[in-house]
């Protein structure tokens, strides 16, 4: 039923407006701690990829706001596909005053990849979820390592967590944050393409970095490490 309703533009717009308002309230009423921001600042002027697991997508605005504060000359562009879920997230991100870029609905992942290349060629930063849009959960697809090696972009593994949230029944166990809690944002150790011998080795470092950042964020928010 919900999926059917979200196919209608007006319903999609209403859902985006409500979710954007909810996330704005969450961000404003959460007590945030930030760890590792200096890792982004040290790479100023270089194209950057912020990578985090898809389950944290509803918390992406918190990452983007903090990232933009530390990289005010560039900010970060949240990259999404044009399928239904991607359009919803993109609309939410735009309503929160953040940059969003779309791939083509007809060309799928290839178009998203090319859009990311375009943004990175301008020495800007992109935020992506390497296990999205359909999983498997916490299994990084090779595109993120390939993109970094082609563009020379450094990859920053990211983690974000809040103490008050619900887990949805989606494939990724999406986190829906709630207001009035503690939150933590963690910038992990950068993964540099010039330091990785192979694409496979780089992908492994990115995946482990994202999991470590997510687990550290959970601990700092006062949560047990997610299974």
Helical H segments across the chain, by residue range: 2-5, 9-29, 37-41, 60-70, 84-95, 108-121, 143-151, 199-220
pTM, full prediction: 0.91
pLDDT attached to residue 1 = 41
pLDDT attached to residue 71 = 54
Helix (H, G, I), strand (E, B) or coil at 155: strand
pLDDT attached to residue 212 = 98
Q: For 163-202, what is each residue's pLDDT tens digit?
A: 999 999 999 999 999 999 999 999 999 999 999 889 999 9
Supply the range of the domain harboring residue 151: 2-220
In a domain? residue 225: no
Residues of the chain below pLDDT 50: 1-2, 5, 72, 105-106
Instruction: Determine contact, residues 186/158, Cβ cutoff 8 Å.
Output: yes
Instruction: Determine contact, residues 20/92, Cβ cutoff 8 Å.
Output: yes
Helix (H, G, I), strand (E, B) or coil at 199: helix
In a domain? residue 227: no
In a domain? residue 166: yes
Instruction: Give the residue from 39, 128, 123 showing the smallest Cα distance to 78.
Output: 128
Instruction: Give the residue from 136, 6, 141, 137 showing the smallest Cα distance to 128.
Output: 141
Instruction: Give the residue from 98, 26, 76 showing the smallest Cα distance to 187.
Output: 76
Using CB atoms within 10 Å of the CB of residue 76, give its burial: 0 to 12 exposed, 13 to 18 middle, 19+ buried: buried
In a domain? residue 226: no
CATH number of the structural domain spanning residue 31? 3.40.1130
In a domain? residue 64: yes
Pairing of strands 182-187, 154-162: antiparallel
In a domain? residue 214: yes
């Amino acid at each position: 039923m919900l999926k059917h309703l979200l196919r209608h533009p007006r319903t999609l717009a209403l859902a985006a407006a409500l979710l954007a308002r909810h996330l704005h309230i969450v961000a404003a009423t959460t007590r945030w701690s930030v760890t590792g921001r200096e890792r982004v600042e040290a790479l100023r002027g270089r194209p950057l990829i912020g990578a985090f697991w898809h389950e944290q997508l509803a918390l992406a605005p918190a990452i983007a706001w903090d990232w933009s504060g530390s990289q005010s000359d560039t900010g970060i562009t949240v990259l999404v596909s044009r399928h239904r879920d991607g359009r919803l997230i993109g609309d939410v991100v735009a309503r929160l005053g953040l940059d969003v870029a779309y791939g083509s609905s007809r060309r799928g992942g290839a178009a998203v990849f090319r859009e990311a290349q375009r943004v990175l060629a301008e020495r800007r930063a992109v935020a992506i979820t390497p296990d999205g849009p359909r999983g498997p959960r916490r299994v990084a697809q090779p595109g993120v390592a390939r993109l970094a090696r082609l563009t020379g972009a450094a990859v920053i593994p990211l983690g974000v967590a809040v103490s008050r949230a619900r887990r949805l029944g989606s494939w990724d166990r999406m986190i829906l944050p709630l207001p009035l809690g503690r939150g933590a944002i963690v910038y992990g150790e950068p993964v540099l393409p010039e330091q990785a011998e192979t694409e496979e080795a780089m992908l492994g470092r990115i995946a482990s970095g994202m999991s470590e950042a997510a687990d550290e964020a959970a601990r700092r928010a006062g949560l047990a490490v997610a299974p």
